[in-house]
Structure 1
Amino acid sequence: MKIIIVTTCLIILPCLIKCEDKSFLKIPNNLKIGAATSAYQIEGGWNTSDKGQSNWDDFTHSKSHLILDGSNGDIACDSFNKYKEDVQLLKNVGFNHYRLSINWARILPTGFANKISKEGIQYYKNVIDELHSQGIEPFVTLFHWDIPNVIAKMGGWTNELIVDYFTDYARVVFRELGPKVKVWITLNEPNVDCSEAYDKETHAPGLNMPGIGSYMCGHNMLKAHARVYRMYQEEFKKTQNGILGISISSSYWFSKNKNEPESGDIAFQNGCGWFLNPIFSKDGDYPPIMRKRIDENSKLEGHPKSRLPVFSPEWIEYIKGTFDYFGVNHYSSRYTENVPYNNITGWYDDTGIIESVNQSWPRGASSWLYVVPEGIGELLRKIKNDYNNPPIYILENGYSNYGNETNINDINRIDYLYSYMKEMLVAINRDGCNVKAYTVWSVLDNFEWSKGYTERFGIYHVDFNHENRTRTPRLSVAWLTEVIRSKQLISFDEFKAKFM
């Protein structure tokens, strides 16, 4: 059957790989290709059975003016009721794995381990069993930005008590679901959530404590991640034999000026090293450049101590090495320039770095998503070189359309995925980067946080105006199906010539 194409605007991408050797574009047999979603963004069922209220339930209901279209995730994609259909959609494409997340408040309605929801546990058991029945491996995230609202009201991730609460929650999940799960993600994009939820008011709980909230949040997240990792090793590893990691959102930063090549790495250390250095580096702790500049700014601002908390030597050792793989979410890149130290205002933005973009770069619907495929290759090589070539799990990569677009011929998304996967495969096949998994964001159009439903990342279109939340495959579904089936990356033009 022929696929009908509606004329659309194409992204014109440069040829990024000089060598035309097709062997570089071969998909290794051991590379898992999957897709991802998160609980609040797709599940709905916000007040089903005995589920507790989450921070995002409260945020979207009480501060709907902060959501671009005033929407919420009360129903979202209704995956709580349609999970079997969604697993079938994954099966149709041929995905090897599915990254999902657990809604903490669905498991522990009070937020604490004194009450465990049998219905909540059963729901996730049903989803995981359905995945296994279709030959799809579950990758499970414990925290994808939603926490019980009662804990959010206590300060959320700025309150050190959350380290114990998160560990208690994780223990329940491991005990109930661990025999069926081999890949765990403790925290999703802590660097993004800490900045948006605690320095600003754009993410729940929106505490808006710039320059303080994010660092308190990050400090406790690192402790919580390490505590859960160590707990799993001691209590569950022997019987369940799973692997654990953390998923960091990482751009790639290109130094704009040849005479300051260090600016890109300084941006990386502040944007990602904030969480990577304590876990993955030989010495642990926060990156020295980050510590130095925040300490200096804090003193200049009259603070009695640094706004960046200090780990004890015991915590530094405890956090260091708490990984089985390197999890990364990557979408875009930036240029960087140094900003000289100012004796009055200190280091600009705590980093001494200003970021910019090339206006010639194509862009998705998301204001931050510029299409810069070479960035993912450079990032993978940096991880290889700086962190001793660990197993890398790419846990998100995707492209957004505008929410008012009904066109299912998402050629721009195909071009994006092709160009990024191309750079990834060259990094694997030519440069020896140890990439084990590649994950498309997202399976479905979903609730995109402060942007509501105005931006769509799904390879399946979801009709949010229909009570059935009808799913319709976009053209990228057919393209991905062929790429996975043939284990060979093909461009849209090649796909068009062969199948259209």
Structure 2
Amino acid sequence: MNKDSYFGENFLFGSAAAAYHFEGAYDQDGKGLAISDVVPASPAEGRTDEPTADNLKLKSIDFYNRYKEDIALFGEIGFKVFRTSIAWSRIFPKGDETEPNEEGLQFYDNLFDELEKYNIVPLITLTHTSEMPLHLAEKYNGFANRKVIDFYLRYVKTVVERYSDKVKYWLTFNEINAVLAMPFYQAGISEVNEVTVQEKYQAAHHMFVASAKAIECIKKINPTAKISCTFVSTFRYPLTPKPEDVWEAVKQNRYQDFFTDIQVNGEYPWYMDRYFKEKNITLTITEEDKKIMKENKVDFLAFSYYNTGVASAEKKGMEDIFSKLKNPYLPQNDWGWQIDAVGLRTVLNYLWDRYKLPMFITENGSSAIEELIEAKDGNMTVNDDYRIDLVSDHLKQINEAIKDGINVFGYTTWSAIDFVSGTTGTMLKRWGFIYVDYQQDGSGSLKRYKKRSFDWYKKVIETNGEYLFEK
């Protein structure tokens, strides 16, 4: 094998999805309502009182009833790992019950067994963004209420005891830093009144404690399990070499570092003291909280990477997850997301310098409006060369980071298959290697079609990355 394409013998190439994006079957087999079931469009546009017909996630691509067909395709493409989530409200429909829903548990038994048939390793998010049972948001105000930690832990204990012999890799939360930008969607906090910065950080603290307690719980059940909690990478460059811009970039990067520092080091970083003081934030943190966080840290870093941002002293934005400023040196996709493959190598080096922990990129990809066409062989497909180029460019930068000496052990694209976009509620944004005939108006046969990128990624995986470097 070409030494320049070496990813390591056990590198986990794969792809990802999440329950609320693709399972559908929102009211089947005892499932309760989740936050996503009352957010039909963008979280910024707010919720509805009840599930509504325009919420495409309710049906989505019906993975719940078609998982065998889809996993067979995942096996054909050759995924070594598949990341998905367990729908919390399938297991505890309201979230505060004492006994779980057996039909929900059985579905994931079947799912993991099916993955094992194709030698696909599951990487499981215990609860993805917007998958909290709606009842916990409406009755308890989500993670703004410390009581919800106990309900979360009951759920964690239930599923980990059930699947400990089938799942080695666990993620406690998805993109935990999104709580500051989307408090209801991420943490179930009511937005009837404006959510204060104090409330957001207190909820984040409760999630830190919940994550640490989940790690403790999982390790007691299976000491060999590997556990993390994902964050969305928001690394910022200074817009110019002006010292004020450089300092602003340092401050904005600490917005991201804060979430990882706590989970790697087990304590709040010193640099947040001034920020909390200036914002009049006083968190309720018990001695037990400090102890549980210190004693239960993540085993590896897991993060989503889509782009980088830029920081300017003239436009501050510590609370913004995604930079509102454009980097003049980067292209962008149809949705205005700038593309920076080299930035992934930069981020990996930055995180390795800071933490020296193994790393897994849990989301990376791009979407576009796509259409089926007839290929030369008569089959219907999608010419998604832009996806091939983007994934290729990012994988090559991961390869460079590995050659830099960094321990990167896995990569899952977003996403394996087309589904409903979470932050827009639309089917217009197509993310997967597999096209699904499910349209914006809710119509469609749900038939699956392989895109051009399907066979390309299959070759990448079966050559352990060497195909990336072929002329």
**Given the two structures, how large is their TM-score scaled by the length of structure 2?**
0.87
* CA distance in 2 between partners of 1:231 and 1:329 (Å): 25
Is 1:173 the counterpart of 2:155? The answer is no
Structure 2 matches for 1:116-127, cutoff 5 A? Answer: 116-127=100-111
Deviations 1:299-353 (A, max 9, x none): xxxxxxx1x625345423421351111111111001112359xxxxxx86569x9
Kindly indicate whether the alpha-carbon contact (under 8 Å) linking 2:26 and 2:37 is maintained by their aligned counterparts in 1.
Answer: yes
Structure 1 unaligned blocks of 5 or more: 1-20, 299-305, 341-346, 495-500
Relative distance call for 1:292 and 1:436 in structure 2 (3 A) is same
Relative distance call for 1:484 and 1:127 in structure 2 (3 A) is same
Kindly indicate whether the alpha-carbon contact (under 8 Å) linking 1:64 and 1:70 is maintained by their aligned counterparts in 2.
Answer: no
Kindly indicate whether the alpha-carbon contact (under 8 Å) linking 1:77 and 1:469 is maintained by their aligned counterparts in 2.
Answer: yes
Relative distance call for 1:354 and 1:86 in structure 2 (3 A) is closer
Deviations 1:192-240 (A, max 9, x none): 2442134xx7996662515244313211110110111112223x024xx
What SS does the corresponding residue of 2:57 show, helix, strand or coil? Answer: coil
Relative distance call for 1:348 and 1:177 in structure 2 (3 A) is closer
Structure 2 matches for 1:434-453, cutoff 5 A? Answer: 434-452=407-425, 453=427
Residue 432 of structure 1 aligns with an amino acid whose one-letter code is G
Kindly indicate whether the alpha-carbon contact (under 8 Å) linking 2:178 and 2:186 is maintained by their aligned counterparts in 1.
Answer: no
Worse-matched range after superposition: 483-492 or 128-137: 483-492
The residue that corresponds to 2:451 in the other structure is 474
What SS does the corresponding residue of 1:140 show, helix, strand or coil? Answer: strand
Report how many residues are paired: 447
What SS does the corresponding residue of 2:349 show, helix, strand or coil? Answer: helix
Structure 2 matches for 1:106-255, cutoff 5 A? Answer: 106-145=90-129, 146-153=131-138, 154-198=140-184, 207=191, 208-234=194-220, 236-238=221-223, 241-255=224-238
* CA distance in 1 between partners of 2:324 and 2:405 (Å): 30
* CA distance in 2 between partners of 1:57 and 1:339 (Å): 39
Worse-matched range after superposition: 28-37 or 457-466: 457-466
Residue 367 of structure 2 aligns with an amino acid whose one-letter code is S
Is 1:287 the counterpart of 2:269? The answer is yes
Is 1:58 the counterpart of 2:38? The answer is yes
The residue that corresponds to 2:6 in the other structure is 26
* CA distance in 2 between partners of 1:64 and 1:319 (Å): 32
Kindly indicate whether the alpha-carbon contact (under 8 Å) linking 2:21 and 2:57 is maintained by their aligned counterparts in 1.
Answer: yes
Is 1:454 the counterpart of 2:428? The answer is yes
* CA distance in 2 between partners of 1:212 and 1:462 (Å): 42
Kindly indicate whether the alpha-carbon contact (under 8 Å) linking 1:52 and 1:108 is maintained by their aligned counterparts in 2.
Answer: yes
What SS does the corresponding residue of 1:401 show, helix, strand or coil? Answer: coil
Kindly indicate whether the alpha-carbon contact (under 8 Å) linking 1:35 and 1:439 is maintained by their aligned counterparts in 2.
Answer: yes
Given candidates 342, 358, 372, the residue that maps to 2:340 is: 372
Residue 342 of structure 2 aligns with an amino acid whose one-letter code is E
Kindly indicate whether the alpha-carbon contact (under 8 Å) linking 2:80 and 2:119 is maintained by their aligned counterparts in 1.
Answer: yes
Residue 28 of structure 2 aligns with an amino acid whose one-letter code is T
Is 1:385 the counterpart of 2:360? The answer is no
What SS does the corresponding residue of 1:170 show, helix, strand or coil? Answer: helix
- What's the offset of the Cα at 1:62? 13
What SS does the corresponding residue of 1:371 show, helix, strand or coil? Answer: coil
Relative distance call for 1:432 and 1:113 in structure 2 (3 A) is farther
The residue that corresponds to 2:437 in the other structure is 463
Kindly indicate whether the alpha-carbon contact (under 8 Å) linking 1:35 and 1:442 is maintained by their aligned counterparts in 2.
Answer: yes
Residue 374 of structure 1 aligns with an amino acid whose one-letter code is V
Residue 244 of structure 1 aligns with an amino acid whose one-letter code is I
Worse-matched range after superposition: 478-487 or 207-216: 207-216
- What's the offset of the Cα at 1:56? 1.4
Deviations 1:430-486 (A, max 9, x none): x11111111111011111123122312111111114554111111111111111112
The residue that corresponds to 2:249 in the other structure is 264
What SS does the corresponding residue of 1:171 show, helix, strand or coil? Answer: helix
The residue that corresponds to 1:83 in the other structure is 67
Kindly indicate whether the alpha-carbon contact (under 8 Å) linking 2:137 and 2:190 is maintained by their aligned counterparts in 1.
Answer: no
The residue that corresponds to 2:378 in the other structure is none
The residue that corresponds to 1:361 in the other structure is 330
What SS does the corresponding residue of 2:271 show, helix, strand or coil? Answer: helix
What SS does the corresponding residue of 2:254 show, helix, strand or coil? Answer: helix
Residue 130 of structure 1 aligns with an amino acid whose one-letter code is E
Q: Give percent identity, aligned residues only.
A: 25
Kindly indicate whether the alpha-carbon contact (under 8 Å) linking 1:339 and 1:348 is maintained by their aligned counterparts in 2.
Answer: no
Deviations 1:346-402 (A, max 9, x none): x86569x975222452222333x2111111101111111111x21111111111113
Worse-matched range after superposition: 54-63 or 221-230: 54-63
Structure 2 matches for 1:289-368, cutoff 5 A? Answer: 289-298=271-280, 306=281, 309-320=283-294, 321-339=296-314, 349=318, 356-367=325-336
What SS does the corresponding residue of 1:143 show, helix, strand or coil? Answer: coil
What SS does the corresponding residue of 1:394 show, helix, strand or coil? Answer: strand
What SS does the corresponding residue of 2:24 show, helix, strand or coil? Answer: coil
What SS does the corresponding residue of 1:138 show, helix, strand or coil? Answer: strand
Residue 290 of structure 1 aligns with an amino acid whose one-letter code is M
RMSD, aligned α-carbons: 2.8
Kindly indicate whether the alpha-carbon contact (under 8 Å) linking 1:104 and 1:169 is maintained by their aligned counterparts in 2.
Answer: yes
- What's the offset of the Cα at 1:258? 2.3
The residue that corresponds to 2:376 in the other structure is none
Structure 2 unaligned blocks of 5 or more: 48-52, 374-380
* CA distance in 2 between partners of 1:405 and 1:492 (Å): 29
